[in-house]
Amino acid sequence: MTAPAPGGAARGAVARADGLAEGVARLRRALRRGARVASPGNPLAVAQLELLSVVAEHPGVRPGQLARLLHMRPNTVTTIVNALTARGMITRATADQDGRAIELTATDAGQQAVHAWQATNAAVLHLALSALPGPQQRALTAAVPAIDALARAIDRLADTPPADDGSG
């Protein structure tokens, strides 16, 4: 038995992370495509649904907070918020403590759109999972807590400001 080359474990970890990143990206694309096929009448873009979901989870969120949470440019958030407001899915209100600030809330129609999107995604996943062999179904079920922990770890990284490297 030969010893692994120096750095072999690190290269293996990078390869696993790269493979996981590609797998997650493919799963996300497949789920979006599957949801579009399952709900062809849904008029909202994925970016609109994602933003609307965050507004539904955080009633009273401000546009600047949305931009930070979703890592979007403020002008992109404004464009999406304007479109969702025009569709009657988000309401704007002046903040109580700061009359210059705007707070956003999902309307009943917005909440229904989020729930319908979540239900469609769940149905697509259920159908796809049921087509897999039992061992793969069990492996995926067992991986759910680890996937959830990974998502929380990525959220923590995304919420941590980058360290100043002293170059500027």
The length of the chain in residues reads: 168
Write down the pLDDT at residue 96. Answer: 81
Write down the pLDDT at residue 1. Answer: 46
User: pTM, whole model, 2 decimals?
Assistant: 0.76
Write down the pLDDT at residue 16. Answer: 82
Which of 70, 108, 117, 64 lies closest to 90 in space, CA to CA?
108
* Whole-angstrom distance, CA of residue 71 vs CA of residue 42: 24
Write down the pLDDT at residue 158. Answer: 81
Write down the pLDDT at residue 164. Answer: 60
42-55 pLDDT tens trace = 999 989 999 999 99
101-114 burial, b for 16+ CB within 10 Å, e for fewer? eebbbbbeebbebb
